[in-house]
Amino acid sequence: MNLRGTTQVFGILGDPVAHSLSPVMQNEALRQAGIDGVYVPFRVRREDLQAALAGLRALGIKGVNVTIPHKEAVCALLDEVDPEARLIGAVNTIVHRDGRLTGHNTDGVGLLRALAEDLGFHPGRRRILILGAGGAARAALVALCRAGAEWVGVANRNPARAETLVGEIRPNFPGTTFASHGMEGEELNSSLGQADLVVNATSIGLKGEEFPFFPWAALSREAVIYDMVYARGGTPLVRTAGAKGFRAADGLGMLVAQGEAAFALWTGQPPPSGVMRRRILADWERQEVPG
Ligand code: NDP
């Protein structure tokens, strides 16, 4: 790496960030695109978020990703939040231009691209069940409705949170019908039975654990599964789905696609095709980044 006085700085704000794969894939993309830039992980505690944003301005940092736990809180601290991120209620990418900080959310477009590329799935007029009602589920719900889903169900361990999420988003998408419920019982079985796609937007699987509940027999045989969680060698949910004869993909494609969209927002150009994914897979192969 050849840092100079002209080098542009990008990064990620979060806590923790040590596990993040973004520095590896973004630096590879900057290098291969021939951009004089560097992408740095910044561990920022909750109470320091405002100071960190002032730091971005003061230091002329060109753009950052935002991750747990700041995605929602950061919205109130920016000069502008684009309409999609505002509807989602979370920002994962900040662009710093002419002294102004603008928030975007590339998780939704990342999910749509991953669904198309990894599963050949397009949400228009399809029926989709989202498991989870946190920040990732919010981005998924908005993106899937925007892409023309006919029906979207949200199932969450805490059913009230699912109901609140659906209540907030429903008025914006009169062409979509909605359901919300808990993560067990007849309601879950019925939603699984009618879904063309099931998206795991919970954090189950992050530590390599199996899904504690998943009534596979209730799932339509044609359904496909997208697990937002990713792991070296695939997640338990994806492996089990495959063993039961379902098509499934883990969240690596979404991670890469949201990162590629952020790169394009910062630099005005898409990164070289496939570079980010290949770099992560190569590092996993050599066991150089966390799985
Ligand atoms: P949040 O903390 O906002 O939400 C977590 C969700 O998981 C909640 O719905 C929570 O339910 C549910 N949950 C957690 N533990 C359990 C459990 N044991 N049983 C049932 N439900 C559980 O996290 P995010 O929405 O930000 O992220 C969710 C997942 O998506 C993470 O694993 C993250 O890594 C992944 N992700 C992947 C991305 C990618 O690019 N591939 C991008 C963004 C996120 P409750 O409300 O009841 O607590």
Cα(133) to ligand 1 centroid in Å equals 8
> 94 pLDDT exceeds 70?
yes
Say if CB 140 and CB 111 are below 8 A apart. yes
- Sorting pLDDT into bands at 50, 70 and 90, what band is 290? low
Among this protein's residues, is 62 annotated catalytic? no
- Average confidence score pLDDT of the chain: 96
What predicted TM-score, i.e. pTM, was given to this entire model? 0.96
Residue 169: name the closest of 191, 152, 157 by CA: 152
Cα–Cα dist 189/253, whole Å: 28
Radius of gyration of the chain (CA): 19
Alpha-helical runs (H) found in the chain: 22-33, 49-59, 83-88, 107-119, 135-146, 159-169, 185-194, 236-243, 252-267, 275-285
Dump pLDDT digits (tens) for 194-205: 999 999 999 999
- Angle between the N-to-C axes of helices 275-285 and 252-267, in degrees from 0 to 180, rounded to the nearest 10: 130
> 291 pLDDT exceeds 80?
no
What pLDDT is stored for residue 179 in this prediction?
98
CA of 132, closest atom in ligand 1: 9
* Average pLDDT of span 252-267: 98
Cα(129) to ligand 1 centroid in Å equals 15
Cα(154) to ligand 1 centroid in Å equals 13
Give the pocket of ligand 1 (CB within 6 Å): 68, 107, 110, 132-137, 156-158, 161, 183, 201-204, 206, 228-230, 251, 254-255, 258
> 86 pLDDT exceeds 90?
yes
Q: What is the percent of the chain with per-residue pLDDT over 90, rounded to a whole number? A: 92
- Sorting pLDDT into bands at 50, 70 and 90, what band is 289? low
Cα–Cα dist 118/111, whole Å: 10
CA of 157, closest atom in ligand 1: 47
